[in-house]
Structure 1
Amino acid sequence: MGKTDQFKLERPAFSRRSFLMGTAALGLGAGLGAGTRPLWANPIALGDGEVQVFSDGNLSLPMNFILPEQSPQEIEALMKPHNLDTQTLTPDCNVTLLRRGDRLALFDVGSGSNFQPTAGELLTQLEDAGVDPADVTDVIFTHAHPDHLWGVLDEFDDPLFADAQYWISEAEWAYWSADDTLAKTPEDRKSFVVGAQSRFEAIADQVAMIKPGQEVLPGVEAIDTSGHTPGHMSYMIHSGSETVLVLGDAISNAVISFERPDWHSGTDQDREKGAKTRMALLDRLAQDQTRIIGYHLPHPGIGRAEKNGTAYRFVADS
């Protein structure tokens, strides 16, 4: 596949239960915490570099927040065949690390210690794997929700990756930084805005803005997957004939997003656009059989999308 033309998306207009699946899929073992959870996946070669996925823990989200427009009967019909809880989702948080040449790049940074008690594990996992935050050269954000951004600061509210260059969508930065965003945000999400703005202020001198189609780093292309947030980006990592797409939250659940991508998600700021982005993206991913890494897919979140009748299914790497 070539660059830039891979996704012509129309602009219309968050489990620990996954441990066994992940271990079987990728031969995990480098980081097993108390014998119950993989902390990171083994590196995967990608041309002249490699990618590795680290766990930041998991979230706990009520189903009526995820699917506010669906009836209990609709939710049960979708989730029960997979033996999944119909009341609460506990999505994994998967942070991707790219090693190539003299670059050590993180895609998102987890939630830190101030969002949910089950998350914020990234720093410990990186250190246990021998990754020094001081060696990270680039931090590339998909978007500015707490579970992707808030881990950028240490316990003293200083940038954790002190020497890194930070990259973020120009539209994403503009939205969260705008003077009227806080006032326009529902009460239950105002902390998202306050948290984003404080972290933006802390890294402002180290940030570079990204536009869709831009090559952020050599072989790392920014793809417009807005809808979940106004400036949400996914990133296609190219290396020769090999590619992998770091999805962020453009596709966020291994059942809901694949089997009912048309359903509106309560996590999307623009629900209609989020659904249209999801459907267009899945169609192209299934057609091209592009490898993906999903931030909230079952850890480590690596696999492919396949067409399944009129819907899709997530096939984890084996």
Structure 2
Amino acid sequence: MSLTRRAFLARCASLPLATTLPHRSVAELPLGPATLTTVSDGHLVLPRSFLFSHMPDEELTSILQDFDVPDGHLTPDCNLALYRDGTNTVLFDVGAGPDFMPSAGAVQDSLAAVELTPDDITHVLFTHAHPDHIWGLLDEFDDPVFASAHMMMGRAEWDYWWDPRTVDTIAEDRMSFAVGARRRMQTIEAGVTLFEDGEEILPGIAAVATPGHTPGHMSFELRNGPDAAMVVGDAIGNHHVAFRRPDWRSGSDQDMDQAAETRRMLLDRLSREKMQLVGFHLPGGGIGRAEATEDGYHFLQDET
């Protein structure tokens, strides 16, 4: 059953929130002379139905028990990837800002913990335009937060959210997503760079189309010498069901069938190439590897 927008927001607001936000860098990975770090934007608080309503109950329960997922609401971490190569300081997405959920919106404090300010960010690369990824463009006074950064987004993702018809065609519980995305995109319209799948958009950073979660969702392959990693955004949205049963349809995805196909493709490639990945909602800072197993895949959390 699909939640209405009003019911969805009301349920989220009624769920318990953590009293403090993790304002810190939570994981780090060297890529040659460059560094890939994740910084926390806090976490989300979601009703379980948002992810699991389309999944078979019995097998789902077994998987969640295997991963010790507690009953009740879900509280996925929000990890923003930060890449520094000595010339560019690149932030992947900008977090939720002050207007989405009280449990998120901590990126400025997390940047401060690694001695950076928003003005130090040279480029922002968007995986997609959901609220927890783009609403952080504006602060509580509607002023731009990353005013010095060059903004970059995949053309298909931009075109989808920029289209005024999207608000009328998107699911009812996501109408505010469309309105909020377009309002923030208007603030960067004059200077944004749009790119296509496969383009090297910055030195060592190539766009990889991973649609389904949103129509134009992008991942990013980072290469520096022999070292490589993939920033996957929400294309792999959790460390349990998404890995164990990537073929299952998840209510968090706008096109559930396409998203499942994308997950299978990504996990197959990442496991075969033993490439490290960064997931926006994966635990422990989100850096790790995908390992193929007899019953799907497993997320191996990075220990660095």
Same fold (TM > 0.5) = yes
Q: Which amino acid aligns with 1:143?
A: H
CA contact (8 A) 1:75 1:86 kept: no
- Root-mean-square deviation (CA, aligned residues, Å) is 1.8
Matched AA of 2:178 = V
- Please name the residue that 2:66 is paired with: 81
1:275 match: secondary structure: helix
Aligned to 1:209: 194
Equivalent residue number for residue 142 of structure 1: 127
Residue correspondence of structure 1 range 95-244 to structure 2 within 5 A: 95-244=80-229
Shift of 1:37: 4.9
Runs of 5+ unmatched residues, structure 1 = 1-33
1:202-242, Cα deviation, whole Å (9 max, x unpaired): 11112000100011100000001011111000001110010
Does the 8 Å CA contact 2:22/2:106 hold for their aligned counterparts? no
Equivalent-residue separation in structure 1 for 2:125 and 2:20 (angstroms):
31
Structure 1 residue 101 displacement after superposition: 2.6
Structure 1 residues 113, 278: CA separation in 2 closer, same or farther (over 3 Å shift)?
same
Seq. identity, %? 44
Match for residue 295 of structure 1? 280
Counterpart secondary structure, 2:146: coil
- Post-superposition CA distance 1:128-167 (Å, at most 9, x none): 3210211211000000000011001122212211111100
Q: Could you say which residue in structure 2 is the equivalent of 1:18? A: none
Q: What TM-score does the superposition give when structure 2 sets the normalisation length?
A: 0.90
The structure-2 alpha-carbon separation of the partners of 1:290 and 1:279, relative to structure 1 and needing over 3 Å to count, comes to same
Q: TM-score, normalised by structure 1?
A: 0.86
Structure 1 pair 132/208, CA: closer, same or farther in 2 (3 Å)? same
Deviation at 1:36, TM superposition (A): 9.1
Cα displacement (A) at 1:66: 0.3
* Cα shift at 1:89: 1.6
Question: Residue 300 of structure 2: SS of its match in structure 1?
Answer: strand
Deviates more, 1:174-183 or 1:123-132: 123-132
Unmatched 5+ stretches in structure 2: 1-18
Distance 2:295 2:173 in 1: 36
Shift of 1:82: 1.9
Alignment of 1:92 onto 2:77: yes
Give, in whole Å, the separation in 1 of the partners of 2:293 and 2:191. Answer: 44
> 1:5-35 CA deviation, whole Å, 9 max, x = no partner?
xxxxxxxxxxxxxxxxxxxxxxxxxxxxx99
Match of 1:40 among 15, 22, 25: 25
Determine helix, strand or coil for the equivalent of 1:254: coil
1:255 aligned residue = 240
